[in-house]
Structure 1
Amino acid sequence: MAKYLLLKHYRGGKAPVNDVPMDRWSPEEVDAHVRFMDDLADRLRESGEFVDAQALSPGGTWVRYDGEGKPPVVDGPFAETKDLVAGWMAIDVDSEERALEVAAELSSAPAAGGRPLGEWLELRPFLDDRPNAGE
């Protein structure tokens, strides 16, 4: 088994297939979208492939160590970047091929008018083989 992180990206508030921003979806369309993601997570739980998932707030903060004791903090992410990580799902699957299948299904969640959202997902394997400095 290998763990993968699926990062849900929204670019400029639009997805490449369905270009209606989510803030213009009807409550029924939002409910259908969330229900689809919940159903997918339930199927992955049943197969033992689900690890965790979470939607993220559009607001956030950038923080880094500056060596001076108090880290600099900057508001973000910024809307002008045209890219927003809206949420994530972690899965534990048998192969990269299976991870790609899950990502494609997640990307097909319904959007405005019931059409597939077609959002970009970033698929990242968890780092599981760290180099050992002592070897």
Structure 2
Amino acid sequence: MKYMIQMNVPADQWDSVMSGYSADDMKAMFAHMNALNEELVSADEWVDGQGLGGPSRVKTVRAGSDGRPQVTDGPAQPGPILAGYWLVDVENEDRALEIAARASACPAPGGKPGNDPVEVHAIPSDPTEA
């Protein structure tokens, strides 16, 4: 079954969160995430995954009444934005939850596990199952 595992960061805290990481903290964070990604690839569970840019790189688009897109800078709503995701195809929900826990344990500034909340979304194979 496929799952989207996602990490979110409050948009208004993005800059302060990111500036809290030293160069060594960033290396530790990326090493942790790369190891997780490599494990998923080796287990043939990886479908896709990306770390995303912050709110300054977000565009919100709506259909305009004239047929042209209406584009504004920034997230559509205040609150958390998607910071990164994994799309995995795993045997069962327990495995998806295990992957999410590994992501949550990513080192925070200072090297301790961040224990950030990570959401797990089931992707039904049949849209009527939603």
Q: Shorter-chain TM-score category?
A: 0.7 to 0.9
Task: Say if 2:95 is the partner of 1:98.
Answer: yes
Identity %: 32
The TM-score normalised by the length of structure 1 is 0.82
Q: In the alignment, which residue of structure 1 is the partner of 2:108?
A: 111
Aligned residue for 2:39, secondary structure, equals: helix
The TM-score normalised by the length of structure 2 is 0.85
1:28-39 aligned at under 5 Å gives the runs: 28-39=24-35
Q: Give the Cα separation in 2 of the matches to 1:84 and 1:77.
A: 7
Q: Give how far 1:130 is off.
A: 2.7
Q: In the alignment, which residue of structure 1 is the partner of 2:68?
A: 70
Aligned residue for 2:110, secondary structure, equals: helix
- In structure 2, stretches of 5+ residues that fail to align are none
> How many aligned positions are there?
124
Q: Give the Cα separation in 2 of the matches to 1:13 and 1:105.
A: 23
Q: Give how far 1:73 is off.
A: 1.2
Larger radius of gyration: 1
Q: In the alignment, which residue of structure 2 is the partner of 1:17?
A: none
Q: In the alignment, which residue of structure 2 is the partner of 1:13?
A: 13
Letter in 1 for 2:62: R
Q: Conserved in 2, the CA contact under 8 Å of 1:10 and 1:120?
A: no
Please state which structure has a larger fraction of its residues in helix. 2
- In structure 1, stretches of 5+ residues that fail to align are 15-19
